[in-house]
Structure 1
């Protein structure tokens, strides 16, 4: 995210971002907070939002495969 490029993730890709620390300090969503908490180094609980789609700066995350919503949110940026 230091490159300032947009990142969009759904389903398992949100877990990948979580596992590698990308969600520790940005608002985010995913399949479940519990799933994220199972990742050893996850410290972003305070930023987790239980919504279908969450956008924070250049990061767009979606809980489930709802491509229409993802596309519509993406087009706004």
Structure 2
């Protein structure tokens, strides 16, 4: 769920996939360890009915997620070629 500062309504959305200009900003944490903050500005507007579009248009975005990114078709193909 994503909440904009001002809300009109709630939208069920899909994930936005956009291009960013991409910047890597190096830093040092309080324990003097190096870290890299990846940041950037979007190069295009969010597509309608995506999470990014909803937030940009003052809607609460609810997007169902799943964590398994396995390419099941590729896995099956590789298993049969062993």
Measured against the shorter chain, the TM-score band is: under 0.3
Structure number with higher relative contact order (C-alpha < 8 Å, ≥ 6 residues apart): 2
**Structure number with higher strand proportion:** 2
* Larger helix fraction of residues: 1
TM-score (norm 1): 0.22
Larger radius of gyration: 2
TM-score (norm 2): 0.21
